[in-house]
């Protein structure tokens, strides 16, 4: 039985889409667990993030690297847009 580990936190649905695409292209099996709770209208998202990425333990290090790179490029794009 495979063991799944947390590889990172997603801050928004858009970031989640980019991370999903990158992991799919790398051939890494993954699951995204959203923290969005409609009963509380997203109340906990600022504290916990939008969701988390779970990957098979054997791909943990590679997935963390990919997620880190996506987040860095995401941050650079935001800084470019805000000046």
- Our measurement of the distance from residue 40's CA atom to the centroid of its chain's CA atoms, rounded to an integer in Å, reads 22
Residue 68 neighbours by CB under 8 Å, 6+ apart: 8
Interval 28-77: pLDDT, tens: 999 998 876 655 555 555 556 788 999 999 999 999 999 999 989 877 77
What backbone torsions phi and psi does residue 59 show, to the nearest 5 degrees?
A: -105, 5
Domains and CATH numbers, the chain: 4-75 (3.30.70)
> Model-level pTM?
0.80
């Amino acid at each position: 039985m495979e063991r799944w580990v947390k590889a990172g936190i997603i801050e928004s649905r858009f970031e989640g889409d980019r991370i999903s695409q990158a992991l799919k292209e790398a051939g890494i099996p993954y699951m995204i667990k959203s923290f969005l709770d409609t009963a509380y209208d997203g109340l906990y998202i600022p504290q916990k993030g939008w969701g988390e990425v779970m990957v098979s333990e054997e791909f943990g290090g590679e997935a963390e690297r990919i997620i880190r790179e996506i987040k860095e490029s995401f941050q650079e794009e935001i800084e470019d847009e805000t000046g």
